[in-house]
Amino acid sequence: MNVFNQLSIWLSFRLSIIFLIGIPVTLFFWSIKKSNKAVNKLLSIYWKISLLFFISLLLLIGKYNYALIVTNISTLLMTISVWFWNDINDELKEYDFSNSLISTTKIWRWSLTFISFNFLIQSLRNFNCFSFINSAACEMWLQPSTNLYIIIKNLFNFFFGANFTQPIAKFLGLFSLLIYTLGLIQWSIIKFPKNGRNSCFSENGRS
């Protein structure tokens, strides 16, 4: 893995932290302050979908071989979730550029799309890491999760007086992935046929 590739992966993860976590948190509380149901509903859905991204981080900590596949699926689902809803899209179109909350939300959606596809392209350049993340060539993909592992390990030891190990992270990640998959299947079978691409934000607010 050359230096340019390492730098690209490092930058992709840093940008992901900003656009996948930092900006959405800001927009979520901003939408609450402005009582904007459409943006609030969009972010509420986004956070539910983004749980898969945090699950993938646990799998990366546990060095699960297919963790990078889960990471890419999570970023793609997060991107789809912010464009999917017809009623929210129609509502956002009603505002002009002078509305700072809506404008920021629109810019963030496009930025998230770019970050997601850039992350996928970076992953495809290291295709072997999709099935064997523990190889030496894939070490750069594990570095961000290693830093997170150290933080979680220290917090776990501080609050519970126990050791948080990589096998525990892998187990928690796989168990959470199972629950997440079952929830996604339930939504696909029950809620999606009923509501389609309607988020129902105007009827239920933050439901």
pLDDT at 158 over 90: no
Q: How far is CA 170 from CA 67, 70, 149, 188, in A?
A: 10, 13, 12, 27
pLDDT at 207 over 60: no
Count CB atoms within 10 A of the CB of residue 55: 24
Count CB atoms within 10 A of the CB of residue 102: 21
Q: Which of 125-129, 131-135, 187-191 has the highest mean pLDDT?
A: 187-191
Chain centroid to Cα 195, Å, comes to: 24
pTM for the model: 0.86
Share of the chain above pLDDT 90, in %: 51
Radius of gyration of the chain (CA): 18
**What residues does each domain of the chain span?**
3-204
Tell me what the mean pLDDT of segment 42-58 comes to.
94
Note whether 16 and 114 are within 8 A (CB). Answer: no
pLDDT at 38 over 90: yes
Count CB atoms within 10 A of the CB of residue 83: 14
DSSP single-letter state for residue 132: -
Least confident of 3-12, 33-42, 77-86: 3-12
- The structure tokens listed for 193 are 């046929």
Greatest C-alpha distance within the chain: 53
pLDDT at 156 over 90: no
Burial class (CB in 10 A: 0-12, 13-18, 19+), 90: exposed
